[in-house]
Amino acid sequence: MKYLVTGGAGFIGSHLVEKLLSSGDKVICLDNFSTGERGNLKDFGGSSFKLIEKDVTQPLSIAEKIDVVYHLASPASPPDYFKLPVETLMAGSLGTYNALNLALENKAVFFLSSTSEIYGDPSISPQNEDLCGYVNPIWPRSVYEVSKRFAESITMTYNRKYGLKTRIVRIFNTYGPNMRIEDGRSIPNFIKLALQGKDLKIYGDGNQTRSFCYIDDVVEAFVKLPRIEYSQPVNIGNPEEISIFDLAKTVVKLTGSKSTITFHRPLDNDPKIRKPDISRAKKILEWEPTVGLKQGLEKTVESFKRKIGPL
Ligand code: NAD
Ligand code: UDP
């Protein structure tokens, strides 16, 4: 099998590339390194791996025959997409259009890495795939939410209009090694600050919740889905829900840090709850998470210690 992974130098993409290569398959990684890291690719080499340094919004043409196009390229951390708002909208729109056309030319399976953010600030919990969500198209966070909604819409349109084999996963908060130290999302931020003995900043009162899934579980679902026939969106996440205040306390405890936790102005349009209903993934993929939060955090802390080095 030959795979194209757009965004392969990023957090999830690099784990996916590693998993595909370990099965003896060939992988082409396309990335512009806007939020990815070269270090995430340092262990990949040989004839099975190829890097194309390119922006997915530029016209794409690849001489080799591709079997599956995994489209992950997009800023994903809120600080990244607030810094790169136009780039985020274009990665989800023009980038998805280009990746879809490449899949069509190759008669490949197209796999879209969408997000729980398409549910916006949800009114019900847990969120299942039928929920249409609550998103305001003009608030700042919409650069990510709306670009992914567009990406889902054009993906389903290619499925209906051209018969392209498509897959959509709506990923809930995922964490693990290979996140950038400066990624800015809660888990890498809290671990970095706890290891440095600095204050962990909570935006809001800390009662907002998220459900965090360890990367190995997410990659397992990424590998399984193209192998079955299923084009409707599938939630992928760990239903183990936690408040952000409890998350911060857990990280401080696990790292043995003397850091304190401080409270700050909430972020604009920050969703208050997020918890996946994974009944669909359980049924069609026979998939469910296997790594609990404490175990996953311990692995992530160890990887961050190696990255940050002695203080
Ligand atoms: P990341 O920022 O670590 O990785 C994204 C990668 O895409 C980076 O390597 C970046 O350089 C690359 N990229 C961005 N724009 C590009 C462009 N225009 N052209 C080429 N490459 C580009 O983020 P991640 O957490 O690994 O997220 C990967 C995908 O999964 C994204 O599509 C994201 O929306 C989705 N997702 C992630 C999570 C999560 O919790 N990590 C949750 C939901 C959805
Ligand atoms: N958050 C926080 N401090 C941080 C980083 C994040 O309080 O240093 C909060 C953020 O406001 C949000 C939650 O933690 O309510 C999860 O944020 P993250 O960026 O991890 O994911 P997302 O908001 O994309 O779900």
Of 119-128, 182-191, 275-284, which gets the smallest average pLDDT?
119-128
- For a pLDDT cut of 90, what percent of the chain falls above it? 96
The average pLDDT across 186-210 equals 97
Residue 225 above 70 pLDDT?
Answer: yes
| Ligand 1 neighbours (beta carbon < 6 A) | 6-7, 9-13, 31-36, 55-57, 72-76, 80, 91, 95, 113, 115, 171, 173-174
Give distance in angstroms: CA of 100 to centre of ligand 2: 31
Output b/e per residue, 5-20; b: 16+ Cβ within 10 A. bbbbbbbbbbbbbbbb
pLDDT of residue 309: 75
pLDDT tens for 155-185 read 999 999 999 999 999 999 999 999 999 999 9
The average pLDDT across 20-38 equals 97
**Residue 6 in tokens:** 């757009």
Which is it for the CA torsion 213, 138, 234, 97, positive or negative? Answer: negative
Does the predicted model carry a pTM greater than 0.95? yes
Give distance in angstroms: CA of 182 to centre of ligand 2: 13
Residue 311 above 80 pLDDT?
Answer: no
Name 174's Cβ contacts closer than 8 Å, sequence gap at least 6: 11, 12, 212, 213, 214, 215, 218, 237
